[in-house]
């Protein structure tokens, strides 16, 4: 699967894709986000947090390509306390095999710390 096919798959699954304005050096200028049911509201905006997929793509001088991603939820859980829960540096096989379980674990971790 190419990085563009991965992006298209996310869109087809209901993820929204937007420009990533934070330079990562990973040749990807977008990230995907989606709100899932069951997450408690973020303290900062009183809305459900978005789960975010940040993809990385690197093409090496010898022609090899590497695609990986992070799956994360970030937000304010109590006044002035922010958390960043993530699964990181997943290759696409790991992502597809563990996708639903990762969302469930992020939800569990988030809901434990939100007051």
Q: pLDDT at position 82, please? A: 94
Q: pLDDT at position 74, please? A: 94
Q: How far apart, in whole angstroms, are the C-alpha atoms of residue 113 and residue 41? A: 11
* Strand segments (E) across the chain: 16-19, 30-35, 50-59, 65-78, 81-91
Q: pLDDT at position 26, please? A: 65
Structure tokens at 63: 């022609």
Q: pLDDT at position 28, please? A: 86
Q: Could you tell me the pTM of the whole model?
A: 0.90
Q: pLDDT at position 91, please? A: 95
* Mean pLDDT of each 10-residue bin along the chain, 115 residues long: 95 95 74 96 93 92 93 92 95 96 97 91
* Three-state DSSP class for residue 54: strand
C-alpha closest to that of 26 among 71, 69, 75: 69
């Amino acid at each position: 699967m190419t990085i563009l096919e991965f992006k298209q798959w996310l869109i087809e699954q209901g993820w929204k894709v937007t420009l990533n304005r934070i330079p990562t050096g990973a040749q990807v200028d977008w990230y995907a986000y989606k709100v899932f049911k069951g997450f408690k509201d973020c303290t900062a905006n009183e809305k459900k947090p978005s789960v975010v997929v940040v993809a990385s793509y690197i093409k090496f001088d010898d022609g090899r390509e590497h695609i990986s991603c992070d799956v994360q939820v970030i937000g304010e859980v109590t006044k002035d306390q922010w958390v960043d829960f993530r699964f990181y540096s997943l290759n696409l096989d790991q992502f597809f095999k563990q996708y639903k379980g990762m969302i469930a674990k992020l939800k569990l971790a988030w809901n434990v710390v939100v007051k």
